[in-house]
Structure 1
């Protein structure tokens, strides 16, 4: 349990630093944008290459992956249906709502929890794969399509190739695919390439957290910008529906039990990732929705994970 608390403490301290720097007027909204763009275009792709590239492919392609994919699909579908059909949010906001309910904090929080609370950092790999190669490319392709509307005179053939190539022009998707290729082939990058990638990738999480902290200070009071019922619903999907789906799929569909079942359930109950705020900032869609859901989900995920651990051990 100390690993869980340490992971949350690390996140809180860096977010608090961003808040303090904004309060002292050392960083402002411009700095928030620079940090978000740096994380999106440079640091996060490098992180994906290094993290996925060194992951054991056998741990990725396991029954845990099916449970993780299933939980992501259930949570994202529920959020999209609510956002689009009930709340009548725009297409861009709907994608961000889906991310809020299904994109878990598998990096800066999931890794320490998997390593220290669950005893094996590799347990986070299936969820990481489900998000980076399925959820993230799907959502970002839609957001790219909204942001880059083709010229009315564009031919059907050119339009087809534009849509087909769009996922491969997204830096995060490209980084994920390169990392997966390295894991599948067993190729190890030379030190001259791997060292700078690792160094740059280390900027990703701090940049996201600092930008988020700045937003908490300069973007209005959390909970006061978006309808509370929508924030509460997305948080409930994230912290209740997704782990329940992971447990049911794991236990009754793919036959997980014991420590593996605990792992997929706890990982599904992790709060919404800071990446979602970066995506919202990058595409200027659902920024305050992402910020508020991340804020509430991060706080409430602590008791949620403690309860799950207590019930399943």
Structure 2
């Protein structure tokens, strides 16, 4: 459990730093926007190149992949239906809500937890690549179209993903992995330095928002946040567990890995996406905040029951 607690403590300390910097007026809302844009356009694409280039794509083509896809589909579709039919959200807000309910913190929480708690960092690969190669391209395409002005021809729809920096970074990383290529040191070294900014920039921007924006639970639709967190922390790991245990018949270690990964909280980069497109910012922020807090006891219960 040390890896679990260490991962959460690390994230919390950097968020607290952003909150403190905003409180003493070293950083303000303009800094939050700059950090978010820096993470979206520069640091995160570099991080995706480095992470995916080092990932064995064959690790994804396994039974845990099906359990992860199933858990994502169930909670994602449930949130989309609720957002459109109950809360009458537009396409952009619905996309941020679906991201908040189904997109797990596979990077800065998932990697250390998989390594320290589950014993193998590669176990996070199926969920990580589902998100980077399927969920993110689809969601960002919808956000591009929903938040842009003017008519949308099929050429525009096809072209938009090709100009998104996160998708470009993902594509380069996958290509390097598939071709088993390594970048030369003069390219790799600065790329890794820039990639190192991604997670701190996201977390500090998030901390600024917590200090300068409305308090979590205020300024947004509280019942919607509650449902999103319920889907994220309870329903998604439950679906993953049922699929892994009773449909795919995975062994105990496989069931534990799939369930723990599905129970991870909403990823901080959803806040960056919301900020970038100017939609669902408070919804994403509050979902991340509450799911991160509640995922700690959820993960401890899962570990206690399944280990």
**Is TM > 0.5 for Structure 1 vs Structure 2?**
yes
Q: How far does the alpha carbon of each residue in 1:28-51 deviate from its partner, in whole angstroms, 9 at most, with x for none? A: 000000000000000011101100
Task: Provide the C-alpha distance between the structure 1 equivalents of 2:212 and 2:248, rounded to a whole number of angstroms.
Answer: 46
Match of 2:213 in 1: 219
Relative to the length of structure 2, the TM-score reads 0.98
Superposition deviation, residue 229 in structure 1: 1.2
Q: What is the Cα deviation at residue 119 of structure 1? A: 0.7
SS state of the match for residue 193, structure 1? helix
Q: Distance in 2 between matches of 1:258 and 1:182?
A: 33
> What is residue 207 of structure 1 aligned with on the other side?
201
Is contact 1:3–1:112 with CA below 8 Å preserved after alignment? Answer: yes
Is residue 72–residue 135 contact of structure 1 (8 Å, CA) maintained in 2?
Answer: no
CA distance in 2, matches of 1:289, 1:245: 24
Distance 1:271 1:310 in 2: 18
* Deviations, residues 204-235 of structure 1 (Å, cap 9, x unaligned): 00000000000000011111111221111000
Find the aligned partners of 1:254 and 1:177 in 2 and give their Cα distance.
30
Deviation per CA, 1:168-193: give whole Å up to 9, x if none.
11111111111111111111111111
C-alpha separation in 1, matches of 2:251 and 2:105: 23
Q: Which runs of 4+ in 1 moved over 4 A?
A: none
Q: Given the alignment of the two structures, is residue 301 of structure 1 paired with residue 306 of structure 2, yes or no?
A: no
Using the alignment, how far apart are the partners of 1:251 and 1:169 within structure 2?
Answer: 40
Matches of 2:218 and 2:157 in 1, distance apart? Answer: 37
Aligned to 1:279: 273
Count of matched residue pairs: 307
User: Any idea what the Cα deviations from partners look like across 1:28-78, whole Å, max 9, x if unmatched?
Assistant: 000000000000000011101100110122212221112111111111111
Structure 1 residue matching 2:265: 3-state secondary structure: coil
Q: Structure 1: how far apart are the matches of 2:41 and 2:247?
A: 38
The answer as to whether partners of 2:92 and 2:147 remain within 8 angstroms in 1 is no
Partner of residue 112, structure 2: 112
Contact 2:256 2:303 in 1 (8 A): yes
Structure 1 distance, partners of 2:132, 2:123, is 15
Q: 2:169 aligns with which of 166, 175, 178?
A: 175
If the length of structure 1 is used for normalisation, what is the TM-score? 0.96
Q: Is the 8 A contact 2:233 2:291 kept in 1?
A: yes
Q: What is the rounded CA distance, in whole Å, between the counterparts of 2:180 and 2:244 in structure 1?
A: 28
Distance in 1 (alpha carbons) for counterparts of 2:61 and 2:162: 23
CA drift of 1:133 comes to: 0.7
2:187 maps to what in 1?
193
1:292 to 276, 280, 286: 286
Could you say what secondary structure the match of 1:188 adopts?
coil
How do residues 26-45 of structure 1 correspond to structure 2 at under 5 angstroms?
A: 26-45=26-45
Q: Is the 8 A contact 2:101 2:266 kept in 1?
A: yes
Q: Report the CA distance between 1:98 and its aligned residue.
A: 0.2
CA contact (8 A) 2:97 2:283 kept: yes
Question: What is the rounded CA distance, in whole Å, between the counterparts of 1:240 and 1:48 in structure 2?
Answer: 28
Q: Which runs of 5+ in 1 are unaligned?
A: none
Q: CA RMSD, aligned part only?
A: 1.1
Equivalent in the alignment of 2:65:
65
Measure the CA separation in 1 of the matches of 2:201 and 2:235.
Answer: 30
1:229 matched residue in structure 2:
223
Give, in angstroms, the shift of residue 276 of structure 1.
0.4
